[in-house]
Amino acid sequence: MMPFAEKLSFLMHITETSNKELAAELGVDPSLISLMRTGKRKLSKNPAQARKMGAFFARRSSAAFQRQALSEMLGQASISPSMPVEALASSLESWLQGDRPITDTFLSGIQAFPTQSQDSPPLPTLTSASGNQTRFFYGEAGRQEAMNRIMQESRRLETPGTIMAVVDDNLEWLLSNYSLTRQVQTWLLHSAEQGFNFLQIMPPLNFINRYTESLQFWLPVYATGQAKVYYYPRLRGNLYRHSMIVVPGCCVQYACSVAAGSTSDITMFSTDLKLVAAFEQQFREHLSLCRPSLDVYRNFGESYPSFRDYFEHRGESVQLINCLSLTSMPPELLERYTRETEHETWRSTFQIYLDNVSNFESKLEQVPFIDMCRLFTAEEVRSGHAPVGSSSKDYSGQPWYTPETYCLHLKNILRLMEQYENYFFVPLNEKEYPDYDLFVNEGHIALIVRTAKPLMTLDVRRPPMVTAFREHLLRRAEAAGYDGIHREKARMELRGLIQELSN
């Protein structure tokens, strides 16, 4: 990882910025900039400083050679002459603050989850139908032209279908053109609104920057809940890169290039329905060799099988939830909510956890289980602001804790800690809580439940991604402390809250 001092010196060099100029922008003494460049002072923890730096250097990086240098240094193809200054400023701000792991990028995207906005660019103008034709295009400009034709032809379909995509190359041809990037995202979201579904085979994880950019580009589509994502589990060579978009009964785009470059791209576009059908068959044969990578459920009830799978896995588990987890709820309380809750979704949810009680405690005898949860204050509980099962206020029919029921839950957590050495409870006392809950099994599955609108559950199965999410949570647990003296501190905090609620 490049130190902050080197990043700052690089930016000042390509923008020909002096210590005095940057100091004036930040409102500090030039000597501080000098200390930063030598590594004797670090970037301020106040995010305003990184924000000001990012905006300053973005304004001074308008030349093509500067954008090219930044693109190579940051590993982001989207940094191009067409990228707006505001977007570049955001990228530079994040880079100055430190290279983020893919989990942080993914989770921040989950919280932001962009959707089609009012300022989205218009879709390509429909031209007259051209009948069955097959054409070839070359280089980045050819890829862009073929993409425009895909967007035009697919809009002629009277009945929505499934758009199939294999993304196995870089996206420089797309991301280097900011306007086209926005236009393609608009087309994908417009297609989803029209009722189209998506099948996607993601690229390998060989080049993490390419994978991350592809993930960020597709996140708005995943948010629709109409995409199923797969990956090929075996090793592949890096000599050739292939990309395919098939709209059955309409058109196909197929591109091939050598290695990670895009200058040698040869792209075919065809509306010949026999050729379209042949590529559809090829896609399905490829898909049969793949495994699920990501599923998105907009209805919580649809995610029940995923949660059952999470419960039944016998490996180590770690989870982060913005309220007390239903996993640690006492059986008598689960039975009570199952019986008294009128909302079918919540009643089924409580029943799933009730059915899992014996399996959960059996698992605690064999493997560690780290349960990181937000603790509500006594005042929040008394005032009816402590939700059961989820921190979201958008779930209809959700029950709320009373001081009595909250104490019952806390006492059961104490029982689990005393009875099972493998159960670790980590109370979270954060200033701000994310809009998601995260559940991870070792090497098996990661479930991300977005608790703000649009509500959804993401089921992640790709092993390297699951491992990355597990490491993310383990780092959180280690930073908070969960064993040894921290275990006793957690017990003391639980006992104190029980006593306060009882009074």
What the chain holds in terms of domains, given with CATH numbers, is: 4-99 (1.10.260), 134-295 (3.30.870.10), 300-502 (3.30.870.10)
Across 181-195, average pLDDT: 92
Query: Of the ranges 5-9, 36-40, 44-48, 338-342, which one carries the lowest mean pLDDT score?
Result: 44-48
What are the angstrom distances between the C-alpha of 105 and each of 17, 56, 212, 455? 30, 23, 8, 19
What are the angstrom distances between the C-alpha of 137 and each of 62, 140, 174, 256, 264? 30, 9, 15, 11, 11
pLDDT tens-place string over residues 207-222 = 666 677 777 788 888 8
> What phi and psi, each to the nearest 5 degrees, are found at residue 229?
-120, 135
At residue 111, the pLDDT reads: 66
Higher pLDDT, 125 or 421: 421
For the cut 80, the answer to whether the pLDDT of residue 104 exceeds it is no
Alpha helices in 165-272 (DSSP H): 172-175, 178-193, 208-222
For the cut 50, the answer to whether the pLDDT of residue 118 exceeds it is no
At residue 286, the pLDDT reads: 95
At residue 97, the pLDDT reads: 86
The CA distance from 419 to 365, in Å, is 9
Of 411, 415, 428, 425, residue with least CA distance to 487: 425
Of 421, 424, 439, 409, residue with least CA distance to 331: 409
- Contacts (Cβ under 8 Å, ≥6 apart) of 409: 324, 328, 329, 330, 333, 401
Higher pLDDT, 407 or 391: 407
Of 190, 187, 185, 192, residue with least CA distance to 171: 185
Single-letter amino acid, residue 36: M
At residue 272, the pLDDT reads: 95
At residue 17, the pLDDT reads: 95
At residue 432, the pLDDT reads: 72
For the cut 90, the answer to whether the pLDDT of residue 265 exceeds it is no
Q: Please answer whether residues 474 and 424 qualify as being in contact, where contact means their C-beta atoms are separated by less than 8 angstroms.
A: no
What are the angstrom distances between the C-alpha of 353 and each of 308, 348, 423, 450, 462? 9, 9, 17, 19, 25
> Is residue 482 classed exposed, middle or buried when 0-12, 13-18 and 19+ CB atoms within 10 A define those classes?
buried
Length of the chain counted residue by residue: 503
pLDDT tens-place string over residues 369-387 = 999 999 999 999 999 999 9
Residues forming a β-bridge with 317: 369, 441
Beta strands (DSSP E) in 284-359 are 291-297, 317-321
Q: Mean pLDDT score of the chain, rounded to an integer? A: 88
Residue 435 CA to chain centroid, in angstroms? 12
pLDDT tens-place string over residues 137-151 = 998 889 999 999 999
- Residue 451's pLDDT band (boundaries 50, 70, 90)? confident
- Residue 300's pLDDT band (boundaries 50, 70, 90)? confident
Query: Of the ranges 305-309, 332-336, 396-400, 474-478, which one carries the lowest mean pLDDT score?
Result: 396-400
- Coil, strand or helix at 58: helix
Higher pLDDT, 75 or 23: 23
At residue 125, the pLDDT reads: 74
Question: Based on C-alpha coordinates, what's the Rg of the chain?
Answer: 26
- Coil, strand or helix at 239: coil
Across 245-268, average pLDDT: 84
For the cut 70, the answer to whether the pLDDT of residue 290 exceeds it is yes
Across 108-135, average pLDDT: 68
The CA distance from 436 to 107, in Å, is 8
Across 413-437, average pLDDT: 91
Q: What percent of the chain has pLDDT over 70?
A: 92
For the cut 80, the answer to whether the pLDDT of residue 201 exceeds it is yes
Of 284, 255, 317, residue with least CA distance to 447: 317
Q: Please answer whether residues 322 and 437 qualify as being in contact, where contact means their C-beta atoms are separated by less than 8 angstroms.
A: yes
- Contacts (Cβ under 8 Å, ≥6 apart) of 106: 215, 465
- Coil, strand or helix at 291: strand
The CA distance from 376 to 217, in Å, is 36
Residues 408, 413, 415, 420, Cα dihedral to 10° = 160
Single-letter amino acid, residue 221: V
The CA distance from 276 to 253, in Å, is 9
Of 379, 400, 405, 398, residue with least CA distance to 451: 398
Higher pLDDT, 421 or 176: 421
The CA distance from 183 to 330, in Å, is 51
**Helix/strand number for the chain, H first, E second:** 20, 14
Single-letter amino acid, residue 478: E
At residue 257, the pLDDT reads: 81
The CA distance from 127 to 129, in Å, is 6
- Residue 117's pLDDT band (boundaries 50, 70, 90)? very low
DSSP element (H, E) containing 488:
helix 485-502
- Contacts (Cβ under 8 Å, ≥6 apart) of 19: 12, 30, 33, 34, 37
- Coil, strand or helix at 424: strand
The CA distance from 217 to 446, in Å, is 21
